[in-house]
Amino acid sequence: MQASKFSVLHRSSQIAKLAAETFDLAIIGGGITGAGIALDATARGLKVCLIEKNDFASGTSNKSTKLIHGGLRYLKNFEISLVRESGSERAIVHNLAPHLVTPQKMLLPLIEGGTYGKLMTALGLKVYDFLADVKGDDRRKMLDKAETLHKEPLLDKQTVIGGGLYAEYRTDDARLTIEILKKATTLGATIINYCEMTSFNYDSQSKIESLNSKDLNSESIFTIKAKNYVSATGPWVDQVLKKDNSTNKKRLHLTKGVHLVFAFEKLPVKQSIYFDVPDGRMVFAIPRGRVTYVGTTDTDYYGNLDRVVTTKADAKYLLSAVNNMFKTVNLTIDDIESNWAGLRPLIHEDNKSASELSRKDEIFVSDSGLISMAGGKLTGYRKMAYRALDAVLKTYNTEEDKFRFENSTTETMALVNPSLTSNDEVEDYQKYIEKQLSGLGITDIYHSWYLCSFYGKQANIIIEKSKRFNSDSGLENLIRAELWYSVHFEMVNSINDFFIRRTGRLYFDIESIKQYKTIIIKDISEYLNWDTNRINKEEEKLNLALKDATTYYDTDFNKKSNIF
């Protein structure tokens, strides 16, 4: 099977293409925002390229709560249009990739003396359903004490007085980003990771004429020419604006959010829970595969953008929230398996605290023509792309051109082909994988769920490939097949790309990294012809990622600290 265009094996030819051709749109940043814009623009017929300085989804788009949700708590700040938009987007994104965006009932327990009473909760959830046009069985249900405890026996019998059950969706943010980028590539976009935008070049009217990009594999610089330039650089938007000498008045207000991961047995919640903590904030506890994760914090951040870590204070805050809600678990810092910390690239508003800042996205167009997009949510990626393209199309002078590119088709375009089209099909396919895996000696349900929800029907290729490896361990053959797949079809250029963004193992199956890293490093070095120097560097990067996912630092790293 030949590697796709979205493969590191085509890196040189893709970079040559970037340097040789002129594009309608050059996008800087390969998180969910850049990915969404790339897909929409390419599907409309624009000639698009995208560069990402690290790996795709290595910024905020791999550090979210991993929910495609309406943002119930934004109702409290009366952000009605945001709730309405993300509420209705949930069902659309679910239909585009039902294996990857799966329905998830959320329980909101009501606690004696808690922030929200029965009436407020019932009303809030009703408005939420109304705004998102939720239908049928998915509409919220109010539960009495017994029903709530039946749904979640881990809640405290002494203090629970009832609950609200409502519909949300769970996803994997990095995989969603990667699938969108893959889809954009199949439609014709030229997309590459490990290429950093380093500076802009201007014409005589001070408009951006081209950008310089550094290939971080070879250290060589090349130039990209396009009609329009979009910065979808999340927390780095201000840095890119600075490189453009922009005088824009808007600036970012970064807040940090941390999640902690526990083995499921340590925090065995039967279902996803959204609970309030004594300081008035809300925290999620979400079971997923073999773990339960908990988050998030929301604190102002002034540290290093390229190395965001979890501090002891972050961990303590979340541990105390969980122990306070689930009285019997008594979790300590030693019980945490893994963690992640990410930055919300919010738009600054005077006199507003981290939690009060709007999650709305905004676009600003600089005098140079640079279009910057920040704020927003994973959930709203399609609508953000609409707005970015509205700004791009304003630069087209003729009505004919505007008309040509006006219509977006992303609302009905399946993200993965061959696609699964309903929950029933996903369930049947997972059962089919279960049978296939059991023939290979893998009998746990976790791996069939994992393959189905991460890859959809692409799992067939991985399972078939695994039969070509000849270890006695079916799991080792499977992970080697995954690596082969991700090198040939998912632009893996580093061990961390594989263990973190393509497979989520750093957060959700950290033991498997320790178990298989030697064979994975051996295989990837052979596929990509790495010398000892490169292998050592990659190992160092992996060790640093493992360290940060399991260490609770005294403080955040400052802006000047060294990273690899």
Ligand X SMILES: Cc1cc2nc3c(=O)[nH]c(=O)nc-3n(C[C@H](O)[C@H](O)[C@H](O)COP(=O)(O)OP(=O)(O)OC[C@H]3O[C@@H](n4cnc5c(N)ncnc54)[C@H](O)[C@@H]3O)c2cc1C
- Work out how close the CB of 384 gets to ligand X at its nearest, in angstroms, rounded to a whole number: 8
- Work out how close the CB of 542 gets to ligand X at its nearest, in angstroms, rounded to a whole number: 18
Name which of 197 and 483 has its Cβ closer to ligand X.
Answer: 197
Name which of 370 and 479 has its Cβ closer to ligand X.
Answer: 370
Residue 71: other Cβ atoms inside 10 A:
21
- Work out how close the CB of 182 gets to ligand X at its nearest, in angstroms, rounded to a whole number: 16
Write down the number of H helices and E strands in the chain: 18, 18
Select from 394, 376, 5 the least CA-distant residue to 184. 5
- Work out how close the CB of 80 gets to ligand X at its nearest, in angstroms, rounded to a whole number: 17
Q: Which two tokens stand for residue 474?
A: 């079916």
- Work out how close the CB of 471 gets to ligand X at its nearest, in angstroms, rounded to a whole number: 34
DSSP string, 284-317: EEEEETTEEEEE---EE--S-TT----BHHHHHH
Name which of 109 and 345 has its Cβ closer to ligand X.
Answer: 345
- Work out how close the CB of 237 gets to ligand X at its nearest, in angstroms, rounded to a whole number: 8
Name which of 291 and 462 has its Cβ closer to ligand X.
Answer: 291
Region of 307 on the Ramachandran plot (φ > 0 left; ψ -120 to 50 alpha; else beta) = beta
Q: Which two tokens stand for residue 453?
A: 């929800």
- Work out how close the CB of 195 gets to ligand X at its nearest, in angstroms, rounded to a whole number: 7
- Work out how close the CB of 51 gets to ligand X at its nearest, in angstroms, rounded to a whole number: 5
Q: Which two tokens stand for residue 423?
A: 């929950």
Region of 116 on the Ramachandran plot (φ > 0 left; ψ -120 to 50 alpha; else beta) = beta
- Work out how close the CB of 69 gets to ligand X at its nearest, in angstroms, rounded to a whole number: 6
Name which of 51 and 483 has its Cβ closer to ligand X.
Answer: 51
- Work out how close the CB of 166 gets to ligand X at its nearest, in angstroms, rounded to a whole number: 15
Task: State CA 369 to chain mean position distance.
Answer: 28
- Backbone φ and ψ for 182, nearest 5 degrees, come out as -60, -45
Burial class from Cβ neighbours inside 10 Å (0-12, 13-18, 19+) for residue 518 reads exposed
Secondary structure letter of residue 117 according to DSSP:
-
Name which of 90 and 480 has its Cβ closer to ligand X.
Answer: 90
Name which of 289 and 525 has its Cβ closer to ligand X.
Answer: 289
How many angstroms separate the CA atoms of 199 and 78, rounded?
Answer: 40
Name which of 48 and 442 has its Cβ closer to ligand X.
Answer: 48
Name which of 79 and 156 has its Cβ closer to ligand X.
Answer: 79
Q: Which two tokens stand for residue 481?
A: 């097949």
Residues 6+ away with beta carbon under 8 Å from 201: 208, 209, 210, 211, 212, 223
Residues 6+ away with beta carbon under 8 Å from 547: none
Q: Which residues are registered as beta bridge partners of 542?
A: none
Residues that bind ligand X (CB under 6 A): 28-34, 51-54, 58-61, 63-67, 69, 196-197, 232-236, 240, 257, 296, 342-345, 376-379
Select from 381, 412, 455 the least CA-distant residue to 96. 412
Residue 505 to residues 71, 146, 433, Cα–Cα distance (Å): 27, 37, 20
Name which of 373 and 463 has its Cβ closer to ligand X.
Answer: 373
How many angstroms separate the CA atoms of 186 and 182, rounded?
Answer: 6
